[in-house]
Amino acid sequence: MSSDEFHRAALEHLDALYNFAMYLTRNPPEADDLVQETYLRAFRFSHRFQPGTHLRAWLFQILRNTFLTFYRLRERESALAEDGVPTWDAPMFHDAPEESSGAVEAHTDLERALRRLPEEFRTVLLLAEVEGMALEDVARILACPVGTVKSRIFRAKERLRGLLRDYSKE
Amino acid sequence: MSTHPPESDDALGTRLRTELRRYTAPAYLRGSIGESADPPRARPAWLAPTLAAAATALVLVLVSIPFLPRILPADPTERLVRSVVAEHTRALMWGARRPEVVPTSLPWLTQESGIALRKFSPGDDRLVFVGVEPVYLEGRRGVALYYRDGDGHLVTYTALPAPGLPLPESRRVQIEKWRPALMSDSGFSAWVWRQGDLGCFIVADMVSEADVERFKDYFVRLRLSTDPVPAN
């Protein structure tokens, strides 16, 4: 794949990456920065991309790793469960972007509930359900086994349902 | 408040796909990323080898400079003037290496330079004595006396053994009863004359017409007051 072809193919996923970045950061300027940094890295390391593998998954992986590097150097809380996510009462990370002044407001209960999820749960739902990625690709992006992905999806939905139930009672 | 009660995994998945807002990348972001994707213009193929060859040549030249023969004037007087001017420049920039105040150092100075000062100028109303030191120029031991005038010009009087030093007739200038040659090198003026078997030089950065008149005056003052002779 030539450099031009690579750039063109990578840019086809811009909207999907931006959408993912918005749900991770909840803040348009931060999402801009995150996506821009993702593409800079992707272009710089394009030689490492193996043709034939999923470019889309590779870009999402870069974006998430960039997010974790630059946006998630937060205080880690509590012990982790077996599958690497926190227990119900102990969110894995502080979700600081939500507290920032430029944060986008949630319009629906579903958005509110999704925001309440820890990043690992939110990410797995966004990738598997919203973006419709294969579990293998999600596993590659999250750098964990497929079984862990399935477990996270299950637990994420469970928690999402619980939150939606709470909202319906309000 | 939601109109959809929480339900099965599939239903929840469908809701996530259909109800969540989808954000699209702003146009400016697409533009800026597109710009950053533009590959830098390829360098001409000949540029790298040419630069490498030029850098190698430069290194070779720099390495070989110390071994290159120096281009020296064929004329012995000009060669001496060049050395004396170089010494004057060194003193101008760095000061004398070991300035001594005569007469206490006269015996040491005579021993080191091979030149005795039967008399010398300790300075006057125009020239302030700075110091004196032995010098070694063009394979000859000599003595250099330094003065500074009221305008800050450094004036260097140098005496070296130079029997039969030829003076260019065309550059000789009549000053009172003497006829020194006025020579120049590297922007400095130099009076050159013979005194017995010694060659004597007075150097200063005085090149304009007015300066040369003053320089003549310095020549007279130093010529009258200083009398170097070979020590042996």
Q: What are phi and psi of B28, to 5 degrees?
A: -65, -35
Average pLDDT by stretches of 10, chain A with 170 residues: 80 93 89 92 84 84 89 49 48 42 71 88 92 92 92 92 84
Q: Calculate the alpha carbon distances from B125 to B122, B128, B149 in Å.
A: 11, 7, 9
Identify which of B2, B25, B30 has the shortest CB distance to residue A167. Answer: B2
Does residue B4 surpass a pLDDT of 70? no
Report the pLDDT value the prediction gives residue B209, as an integer from 0 to 100.
Answer: 85
Q: Spell out the domains of chain B, with CATH numbers in brackets.
A: 76-230 (3.40.1000)
Distance CA B65, CA B52 (A): 20
Report the pLDDT value the prediction gives residue B223, as an integer from 0 to 100.
Answer: 93
- For range B47-68, the mean pLDDT: 90
A40: chain B residues, CB-CB within 8 Å? 36
Q: Spell out the domains of chain A, with CATH numbers in brackets.
A: 3-169 (1.10.1740.10)
Task: Report the predicted TM-score, pTM, of the whole model to 2 decimal places.
Answer: 0.48
Enter the ipTM.
0.78
| pLDDT-derived band at B41, boundaries 50, 70, 90 | low
Distance CA B84, CA A106 (A): 88
> At A116, which amino acid appears?
R
Report the pLDDT value the prediction gives residue A136, as an integer from 0 to 100.
Answer: 92
Instruction: Give the total residue count for chain A.
Output: 170
A165: chain B residues, CB-CB within 8 Å? 6
Instruction: Rank A76-90, A113-127, B5-19, B84-98 by mean pLDDT and report only the highest.
Output: A113-127
Q: Calculate the alpha carbon distances from A130 to A24, B80, B139, B143, B216 in Å.
A: 13, 91, 91, 94, 98
Chain A / chain B CB contacts < 8 angstroms: 90
CB B149 within 8 A of CB B194: no
Higher-scoring residue by pLDDT: A79, B55:
B55
- For range B14-26, the mean pLDDT: 89
pLDDT over 90 percentage in chain B: 45
Report the pLDDT value the prediction gives residue A72, as an integer from 0 to 100.
Answer: 59
